[in-house]
């Protein structure tokens, strides 16, 4: 009997795995159709529960960073002598991504604003929301800000700044939105990530975090979007194709920071190969050169574990590589950790005149 039950479980597992693989393969050919279906579900939920949708939207937006161990946006922020920095998170981020950077920026005299948004909705919807927040929060004051964006947050900011329908820089000249001094992208998949199609693990983490938040409505899991962002993040998506066809503004300081989980930095690989060549026979040099190419290629492809270095790279934009995963290059896993994430001092240097 036990053998029979075990066999049934193996068959069921095989069927489930086959269905999962078929769905993933099918998604490659029907991305836009899936996106439209997801968007229709999202729109239907918002129409069915308008009050909940309104409350949910009002809980997001630009908020002043509250100092202390409470990492949620608050209503008080000291400083501002060195300017204003807006921090915008990525996909399925429950709010801890700025646990190391935000306090340091505030201590150094920056006014820190945290931008939150329904992260599962389409990236275009998020960039529209970001634009409206910039207009309502800062107008009619004419001032300048810097943007530091992690992961998908970089795409949202890029879309807001380059989409002609927003006419961002024309409106900035009129004082309707703030001017941009610096724009720093950290681990941004500028050319997409194949791992976006397996993002249900991060979505579970996001919803699990919301489950224990007393302020979270039971509909929030649907009101933050129906997964359109995950489709926009796939390489070759309609959104990324259109975004990457637009030129970047050359009159603001734009920087890219990419993480790598490789044990070697850019400069260490050549030194390692040189050491090998000095200690091995001459006939092994072709093999050592091939090894160098392989190590460099692996480092670029693996990247931070979620975003490859080549995906983060943008033409004519300076790129700096740091050691760390998609998360650990910008934040610690534990709040009590004294480790300094490598991207934090780099961002400070980029923002400080």
In the DSSP assignment, the letter for residue 191 is: T
Q: Which residues contact 203 (CB under 8 A, 6 or more apart)?
A: 92, 120, 227
Cα–Cα distance measured from residue 257 to residue 185, given in angstroms and rounded to the nearest whole number? 6
Dihedrals phi, psi of 265, to nearest 5 degrees? -85, 175
Q: Predicted confidence band at 73 (pLDDT cuts at 50, 70, 90)?
A: very low
Beta-bridge partner residues of 148: 87, 184
Q: Predicted confidence band at 78 (pLDDT cuts at 50, 70, 90)?
A: very low
From the list 94, 168, 185, the residue with the least C-alpha distance to 133 is 168
271 against 143, higher pLDDT:
143
Query: How many alpha carbons fall within 13 Å on the CB side of residue 169?
Result: 13
**337 has a pLDDT exceeding 80:** yes
Query: How many alpha carbons fall within 13 Å on the CB side of residue 48?
Result: 9
User: So what's the pLDDT on residue 285?
Assistant: 66
From the list 244, 298, 238, the residue with the least C-alpha distance to 266 is 298
Q: What is the mean pLDDT of residues 10-25?
A: 56
- The percentage of the chain sitting over the pLDDT mark of 90, rounded to a whole number, equals 43
Domains of the chain are: 11-257+322-351 (3.40.50)
User: So what's the pLDDT on residue 116?
Assistant: 92
Tokens, residue 53: 């949708």
Whole-structure pTM value? 0.72
Q: What is the pLDDT of residues 117-160, one digit of tens each?
A: 987 788 999 999 999 999 999 876 768 999 999 999 999 999 99
Q: What is the pLDDT of residues 322-336, one digit of tens each?
A: 989 999 999 998 888
Q: Predicted confidence band at 69 (pLDDT cuts at 50, 70, 90)?
A: very low
The answer to whether 65 and 113 have CB atoms below 8 angstroms apart is: yes
For the purposes of burial, counting CB atoms within 10 Å of the CB of 250, is it exposed (0-12), middle (13-18) or buried (19 or more)? exposed
**314 has a pLDDT exceeding 50:** yes
Q: What is the pLDDT of residues 174-185, one digit of tens each?
A: 999 999 999 999
Beta-bridge partner residues of 185: 149, 256
From the list 209, 235, 207, the residue with the least C-alpha distance to 223 is 207
218 against 334, higher pLDDT:
334
Tokens, residue 221: 């899991």
User: So what's the pLDDT on residue 72?
Assistant: 44
Q: Predicted confidence band at 207 (pLDDT cuts at 50, 70, 90)?
A: very low
User: So what's the pLDDT on residue 39?
Assistant: 56
Cα–Cα distance measured from residue 31 to residue 241, given in angstroms and rounded to the nearest whole number? 14
Q: What is the mean pLDDT of residues 207-213?
A: 49
User: So what's the pLDDT on residue 15?
Assistant: 59
Cα–Cα distance measured from residue 257 to residue 343, given in angstroms and rounded to the nearest whole number? 7
């Amino acid at each position: 009997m036990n053998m029979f039950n075990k066999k049934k479980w193996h068959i069921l597992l095989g069927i489930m795995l086959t269905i999962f693989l078929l769905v993933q393969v099918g998604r490659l050919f029907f991305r836009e159709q899936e996106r439209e279906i997801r968007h229709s579900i999202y729109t239907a939920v918002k129409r069915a529960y308008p009050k909940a949708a309104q409350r949910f939207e009002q809980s997001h937006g630009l908020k002043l960073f509250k100092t202390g161990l409470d990492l949620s946006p608050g209503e008080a922020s000291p400083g501002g002598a060195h300017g204003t920095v807006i921090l915008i998170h990525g996909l399925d981020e429950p709010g801890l991504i700025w646990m190391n950077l935000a306090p340091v920026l505030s201590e150094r005299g920056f006014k820190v604003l945290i931008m939150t948004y329904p992260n599962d909705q389409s990236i275009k919807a998020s960039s529209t929301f970001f634009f409206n927040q910039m207009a309502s929060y800062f107008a009619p004051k004419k001032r300048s800000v810097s943007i530091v964006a992690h992961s998908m947050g970089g795409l949202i900011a890029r879309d807001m700044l380059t989409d002609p329908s927003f006419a961002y820089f024309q409106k900035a000249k009129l004082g309707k939105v703030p001017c941009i001094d610096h724009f720093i992208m950290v681990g941004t998949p500028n050319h997409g990530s194949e791992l976006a199609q397996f993002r249900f693990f991060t979505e579970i983490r996001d919803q699990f975090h919301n489950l224990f938040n007393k302020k979270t409505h039971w509909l929030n899991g649907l009101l933050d979007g129906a997964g359109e962002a995950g489709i926009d993040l796939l390489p070759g998506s309609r959104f990324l194709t259109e975004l990457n066809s637009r030129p970047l503004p050359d009159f603001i300081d734009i920087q890219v920071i990419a993480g790598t989980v490789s044990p070697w930095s850019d400069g260490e690989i050549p030194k390692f190969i040189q050491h090998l060549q000095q200690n091995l026979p001459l006939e092994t040099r072709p093999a050592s050169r091939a090894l160098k190419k392989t190590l460099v290629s692996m480092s670029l492809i693996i990247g931070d574990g979620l975003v490859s270095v080549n995906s983060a790279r943008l033409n004519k934009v300076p790129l700096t590589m740091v050691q760390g995963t998609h998360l650990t290059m910008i934040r610690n896993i534990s709040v009590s950790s004294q480790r300094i994430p490598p991207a934090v001092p780099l961002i400070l240097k980029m923002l400080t005149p």
